[in-house]
Amino acid sequence: MAVLKDNAYGHGLELMANLASTYGLQKAAVKNLQEAKMISHLFDEILILADHPATQAVSSNISFAAHAFETLLLFPKGTAIHLSIDTGMHRNGVREDKIEAAILRIKERGLNLKGIFTHFRSSDELNSEFFWQQANFERAKVLVKELLKKHGLPSIAFHSCNSAGLLRTQSLGSDDFARCGIAMYGYTTLHPMIETPALKPVLSLWAQKLSTRTIKQGERVGYGGIYEATCDEVISTYDIGYGDGFFRFDGHGELFLANQQTIKGRMSMDSFCTGGDAQEICMFEDATALAKHFRTISYEIITKLSPTLKRVVI
């Protein structure tokens, strides 16, 4: 299942959905109904991960993640759902001792149960929590299979792994599919001690030049004049800033672009400055170093990129 939520982690929802479908992926996961509707013609099934129950009927290939027992009262009859099981993350899902009640409620309310899933909280970390949750899910699966039989319900799909879970085990075990996000975009978040296939980030961010000037030694650049020229130098301004979803660089310390040049001075809302006069500059082709600089994760660097930036497949 291609995880295409949040504008395909900033890569462009329609563009990545078209690629995923071209490459033969038949299932996708998105954030909300709005995203699901944009790509529902491309997949056999679209799972909505983080939206509230729709008030009107939706297309039959769209399913909702049901994150709590109480939510099962809110879906209109016939809604396709995947029931979330809490195996230890305690973010969402029904606990093991409530599974039977949930299945009965699903049957009573005429919901269309298509799958049971869970989510791992530590699949990329060098500890055994992943295996503990996996064992909890395996136990839940056995129980669910028994209950479906007991209550005369059809068989369903089981899924648990995100990218790190799948890269770590390199197997689906007895699951039907994995929900793969970050790895599809070329990143692994696995602890370096865990062997990982080599992946290549697919997105690079390019800025175009707006203007060029020569500044004299001692002149200072941008808001607050944070950067001071140590000699006469050529400076150019480029058309991406924090208003485009790039993290705001405050001008202190060193922030490197893809060519190892630094951003000079504070980043503005719609521009930044750097040395030289190149027509275009690659800001990054791998978000890992930026994530480190801003004390965040690659997910956030790429997901924040404004949907209005032009995306091109090369």
Ligand X SMILES: *Cc1c(COP(=O)(O)O)cnc(C)c1O
CA–CA separation, 2 vs 39, rounded Å? 12
- CB closer to ligand X out of 40 and 123: 123
Shortest Å, Cβ 187 to ligand X = 8
CA–CA separation, 283 vs 207, rounded Å? 7
CA–CA separation, 26 vs 20, rounded Å? 8
Does 133 participate in binding ligand X (rule CB under 6 A)?
no
Q: Find the catalytic residue in 149, 150, 223, 292.
A: 223
Shortest Å, Cβ 119 to ligand X = 4
Per the annotation, the verdict on 5 as an active-site residue is yes
Please check whether residue 120 is in contact with residue 164, taking contact to mean a CB–CB distance below 8 angstroms. Answer: yes
In Å, how far are 10, 37, 118, 120, 184 from 299, measured between CA atoms?
9, 24, 20, 16, 12
Q: Could you say which residues in the range 144-173 bind ligand X, by CB under 6 A?
A: 162-164
Please check whether residue 149 is in contact with residue 143, taking contact to mean a CB–CB distance below 8 angstroms. Answer: no
* Tally of CB atoms within 10 A around 49: 23
Shortest Å, Cβ 284 to ligand X = 19
- CB closer to ligand X out of 11 and 179: 179
Q: Could you say which residues in the range 44-63 bind ligand X, by CB under 6 A?
A: 49
Per the annotation, the verdict on 292 as an active-site residue is no
Shortest Å, Cβ 42 to ligand X = 19
Out of 119, 141, 168, 266, the residue judged to bind ligand X by CB under 6 A: 119
CA–CA separation, 228 vs 237, rounded Å? 15
Binding site residues, ligand X, CB under 6 A: 3, 5, 49, 119, 162-164, 179-183
Show which residues are catalytic: 5, 223
